[in-house]
Amino acid sequence: MVAAATRQQIVEAADRLFYERGFEATSFADIAGEVGLSRGNFYYHFKTKDELLDAVITHRLLKTRSMLDIWEAKSKTPEERIVSFVNLLVVNQAKIMAYGCPVGTLCNELAKLDHLAKDRAAEIFSMFRHWLSHQFIAFGREAEADALAMHILMRSQGVATLAAAYRDEIFVRNEVENMRAWLAAQRPGTPVLPETLS
Partner DNA sequence: GTCTATAATATGATAGAC
Partner DNA sequence: GTCTATCATATTATAGAC
167 phi-psi bin (left φ>0, alpha ψ -120 to 50, beta other): left
Q: Which does 49 bind (CB under 5 to 8 A by kind): its own copies, DNA, none?
A: DNA
Q: Which residues inside 165-194 make contact with its own copies, applying CB under 8 A? A: 165-166, 171, 174-175, 178, 192-194
Per CB under 8 A, 158 contacts its own copies: yes
Nearer to DNA, 21 or 65 (CB): 21
Is residue 122 a contact residue for its own copies (CB under 8 A)? yes
Q: In the complex with DNA, which residue's Cβ is closer, 43 or 166?
A: 43
Q: Which residues here bind its own copies, judged by CB under 8 A?
A: 20-22, 24-25, 98-100, 104-105, 107-109, 111-113, 121-122, 125, 144, 147-148, 150-151, 153-159, 161-162, 164-166, 171, 174-175, 178, 192-198
